[in-house]
Structure 1
Amino acid sequence: MSTQASEYQEHLELIREIPYFSALSLEAQKVLAYLCVREHFPEGEAVFSTGDIDSSAYYIISGNLEILTDNQEKPIGKFGPGDFIGALSLIGDSKRLFTVKATEDTLCIRLTKDKFNKVREQFPEITNKFMLVAVEAVNNWEKRFIKNLVPECSGCLSTLGLTLI
């Protein structure tokens, strides 16, 4: 089996695991898998930086990434194998609020907004399924935020209500 065919098969298996794409038809998943590209990030390299308009989503195959803000020295979070980041950039343009940097050699598959839109044209049902998962992700995020809320953080309370949008 050629390397290209092997990578395509691995992409298809990974696409089928990503909640945003797992409920799609096999045909739609195959097209997405074909359109994804592998991207390697050496240790210390930024996947994207604060202020970038990066219209790509990334699935981490191996390695680890850290989340940084401009006003924090320490990372505020991390991503690792199996994490899918940047999904909302596939459906809208906005500046990245964080810098995401590799803490070790990291291999991802990348899907761009342009390629995702081509698949949406061919399989219009993708939009509704994608949005349902996005709403669920936002709701789950806010639940975790409320659960982990530090009572002394009065400013944090004013940021609640994301699910009210």
Structure 2
Amino acid sequence: MKLLENITTIKQLEIINRLDFFTEFTLAERQVLLESFSHLYLISKDRYAFKRFEQDNRLYIILNGELRIFAEKDHVDIGHVGPGEFVGEGAFISNRERSTSAQAISDTIVLAITSEALTKLPAVIREKIKDKIIAGMSERIHKLNHFIEEKL
């Protein structure tokens, strides 16, 4: 992963303004999030965002591109995440090792947020991020239930 340091805040705002994840955030809240508490990374095609068992507790919000999620032992795809979706919430919330691996299908830009940075955000932004994580996890549970039902 390569840290992207030369993208202006205006360009970053242009990118996140297109994503559903940030629709509930005001412009000022988006600026605070981008300027103070997060980092943008480029994950080149076929490179890993993270691997199973790593001790990386960052939450990654996909801004551009796509990641495939899989269990390392059998390389079977568990799912794909694209713009406006996130990955890494399990390690982010519980501060435990990664349970899956994430690999870029195409060049992918992600917004990385640490749990430590989340605690420093203003309460209104923190709560909106938590709400988005809860909604996203609920959607994943729904999809997994549907997947399991199809296999039975």
Q: Given the two structures, how large is their TM-score scaled by the length of structure 1?
A: 0.68
- Tell me if 1:29 matches 2:46: no
How far did residue 40 of structure 1 move?
1.6
- Tell me if 1:144 matches 2:143: yes
Give the 5 Å matches for 1:63-82.
Answer: 63-82=65-84
Secondary structure class of the residue paired with 2:8: helix
Q: Is the 8 A contact 2:52 2:71 kept in 1?
A: yes
Distance 1:89 1:80, change over 3 A: same
How far did residue 31 of structure 1 move?
1.1
Report the aligned-residue RMSD: 2.8
Distance 1:63 1:141, change over 3 A: closer
72-81 or 46-55, which deviates more: 72-81
- Tell me if 1:113 matches 2:115: yes
Unaligned runs of 5+ residues in structure 2 are none
Q: Given the two structures, how large is their TM-score scaled by the length of structure 2?
A: 0.73
Distance 1:91 1:77, change over 3 A: closer
Secondary structure class of the residue paired with 2:84: coil
Q: Which residue of 2 aligns with 1:132?
A: 131
Distance in 1 (alpha carbons) for counterparts of 2:63 and 2:129: 21
Unaligned runs of 5+ residues in structure 1 are 154-165
Percent identity between matched residues is 21
Secondary structure class of the residue paired with 1:149: helix
How far did residue 30 of structure 1 move?
1.2
